[in-house]
Every structure is written in structure tokens, then in C-alpha cells.
């Protein structure tokens, strides 16, 4: 697999991640986050920061989960490594916040880590499927 292949894969993976996370944050769990984090939430999203995060984060999913799955031609590897990537990254974020932000709720920690695992596993598996389609 060459750089052009991974660039195409990246560009096709971005909308998958965006769609899933926007549905989660904007519809499914919107009230949950407002209820538990309303005391610190900004009234408006800082879109440049959010988009920058997403673009970097998706590259991480491809590097740490999808590429190893492609090497082994293993959807299961995409699932496991994607889920682990989500676990470690979301746990880092939430536990750091819990350590430093007064009142950071344990419910947010648990739900967010679980969501990160599901999100990254699904995105990694979907991206793996896209990679198979591209080859």
C-alpha cells in the first residue's frame, strides 16, 4: 500500500467518523452531556479546534488500527485495535479531566470511554472495509 492509497483511505474515512460522532454528540447523547457538563460547556463549538482534532484523531485510527489490520487482512484486528485505540485515548482525556477539573462526573468518564471504544472500533472496521474495496 502506497501513500496515495492511504490518502484516499483517509479521505473516505473522515466522513464515516464525522457522521458517527456528530450523531452521537448532536443527537443521541446531547442531553446527557448538557446535563453533566453544562457547568463548563461553551455555548458555541470552536469548529477550527474540533476539525483539527478530528483530522489528527482519524489519522491515528488509520495508523494504529487500520494499517495493522490491512497488513494481516483481518477485520477482527481492526475491531480490537480500533477499540483499544478508543479506550486508551478516551480514557486519557476523561481521566485527565477528572483529575484536573473540579466536578468532572464519573458518569461522563464511563460513558465517554465506552463511546470511544465503540466509535473507534466501528470506524476502524468500516475503514478496513473501504480499504478492501479500494484494492
Predicted pLDDT of residue 108: 98
Res 56: pLDDT:
98
Arithmetic mean of pLDDT, 98-125: 98
Its sign, for the CA torsion 107, 109, 112, 116, is negative
| Mean pLDDT, residues 13-21 taken together | 97
Distance between CA atoms of 36 and 103, rounded to whole angstroms?
A: 9
Average pLDDT over residues 38-57: 95
Asked if the model's pLDDT at residue 3 lies above 80, the reply is: yes
* pLDDT at residue 79 tops 90: yes
pLDDT of 35 strictly over 90:
yes
d(CA 31, CA 43): 14
Q: Dump pLDDT digits (tens) for 82-96.
A: 999 999 999 999 999
Mean pLDDT across the chain, nearest whole number? 97
Summarize the confidence of residues 111-134 as an average pLDDT. Answer: 98
pLDDT at 102 over 80: yes
Contact 133, 27 (CB under 8 A): no
Per-residue pLDDT for 1 more than 80? no
Mean pLDDT in residue range 34-58: 95
Amino acid at each position: 500500500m502506497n501513500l496515495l492509497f492511504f490518502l484516499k483511505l483517509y479521505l473516505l474515512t473522515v466522513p464515516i467518523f464525522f457522521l458517527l460522532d456528530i450523531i452521537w454528540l448532536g443527537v443521541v447523547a446531547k442531553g446527557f452531556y448538557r446535563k453533566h457538563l453544562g457547568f463548563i460547556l461553551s455555548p458555541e463549538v470552536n469548529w477550527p479546534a474540533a476539525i483539527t482534532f478530528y483530522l489528527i484523531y482519524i489519522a491515528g485510527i488509520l495508523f494504529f488500527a487500520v494499517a495493522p489490520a490491512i497488513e494481516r487482512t483481518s477485520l477482527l484486528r481492526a475491531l480490537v485495535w480500533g477499540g483499544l485505540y478508543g479506550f486508551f485515548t478516551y480514557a486519557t482525556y476523561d481521566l485527565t479531566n477528572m483529575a484536573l477539573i473540579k466536578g468532572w462526573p464519573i458518569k461522563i468518564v464511563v460513558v465517554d470511554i465506552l463511546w470511544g471504544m465503540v466509535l473507534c472500533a466501528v470506524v476502524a472496521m468500516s475503514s478496513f472495509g473501504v480499504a478492501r474495496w479500494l484494492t
